[in-house]
Amino acid sequence: MTAPSPSTGLTPLRRAAILASGILSTTLYFTTILVTSTVLPQIQGTMSATADEVSWIVTFNILAIAIATPMAGWLAARFGRRTVMVTCIAGLSASTLMCGLAQSLESLIFWRIVQGAIGAPTVPLAQSIMLDIFPREQHRFVMSLNGMGVILGPIIGPTLAGRLAEDLTWRWAFFMLVPVSLISFIGLYFALPKDQKPSPIGFDWIGFLSLSTAIGCLQYVLSRGQRLDWFESNEIVIFLCVAVLAFYVFIAHSLTAKQPFLNLKLLTDRNLALGLMLVSFFGMLSFTPMVLLPTLLRQYAGFPDALVGQVIGARGLGGLAGFFIAMWSEKLDPRLSMALGFLALMISGLWLMTVNLDVTPLELALNGMLQGTCIGLLFVPLSIITFSGIEPRYRAEALGVFHLLRNLASSLFISISVAEVVRSTGINYARLVEVVNPFNPSLMLPWVMGGWNAETNAGLARLSREITRQSAMIAYLNAFGLFTVVAALAIPFALAFKSVRSAAAAVGTPAPATATAPPSPPEERSPPGSDHTRKAAAE
Q: What is the pLDDT of residue 167?
A: 80
Percent of the chain predicted with pLDDT > 90: 8
Q: What is the pLDDT of residue 477?
A: 93
Neighbours of 237 (CB within 10 A): 14
Eight-class DSSP state of 519: P
> Residue 461 burial (CB < 10 Å; 0-12/13-18/19+)?
exposed
Q: For the chain, first and last CA: distance in Å?
A: 27
Between CA 240 and CA 242 the distance in angstroms is 5
Between CA 380 and CA 400 the distance in angstroms is 17
- Which residues, in sequence order, are CB contacts of 302 under 8 Å at separation 6+? none
Between CA 243 and CA 219 the distance in angstroms is 9
Dihedral pair phi/psi, residue 316, rounded to 5°: -65, -35
Q: What is the pLDDT of residue 524?
A: 35
Best CA proximity match to 173, nearest among 306, 78, 278:
306
Between CA 9 and CA 530 the distance in angstroms is 28
Distance of CA 154 to the CA centre of its chain: 11
Between CA 529 and CA 536 the distance in angstroms is 11
Amino acid at 528: P
When computed from its CA atoms, the radius of gyration of the chain, rounded to whole angstroms, is 24
| Angle 323-327-332 from CA coordinates, rounded to 5° | 105
Helix-helix angle 531-538:395-433, to 10 degrees:
100
3-state DSSP assignment of residue 445: coil
Q: What is the pLDDT of residue 501?
A: 55
Q: How many residues are there in the chain?
A: 539
- 528 contacts 266 by C-beta, under 8 angstroms: yes
Neighbours of 473 (CB within 10 A): 18
Q: What is the pLDDT of residue 434?
A: 82
Between CA 141 and CA 460 the distance in angstroms is 60
- 142 contacts 133 by C-beta, under 8 angstroms: no
- 168 contacts 306 by C-beta, under 8 angstroms: no
Percent of the chain predicted with pLDDT > 70: 83
Q: What is the pLDDT of residue 450?
A: 64
Between CA 344 and CA 366 the distance in angstroms is 13
Q: What is the pLDDT of residue 242?
A: 92
Eight-class DSSP state of 296: I
Mean pLDDT per 10-residue section of the chain, whose length is 539 residues: 48 77 80 78 81 78 80 79 87 90 88 89 80 72 70 71 80 87 84 72 81 83 76 86 91 83 75 86 85 84 82 79 70 80 91 89 89 80 78 71 81 84 88 79 68 72 84 92 92 81 48 36 37 40
DSSP string, 137-148: GGHHHHHHHHHH
Q: List Cα–Cα distances, 267 to 244, 276, 291, 533, in angstroms.
A: 21, 9, 32, 15
Q: Please, what are the domains in the chain? A: 12-204+257-436+460-538 (1.20.1250.20)
Between CA 486 and CA 34 the distance in angstroms is 21
Between CA 217 and CA 415 the distance in angstroms is 13
Eight-class DSSP state of 199: P
Q: List Cα–Cα distances, 74 to 9, 380, 443, 537, in angstroms.
A: 24, 25, 67, 9
Distance of CA 517 to the CA centre of its chain: 34
Between CA 97 and CA 111 the distance in angstroms is 9
| pTM as predicted | 0.73
Q: What is the pLDDT of residue 460?
A: 76
- 319 contacts 369 by C-beta, under 8 angstroms: no
Amino acid at 277: M
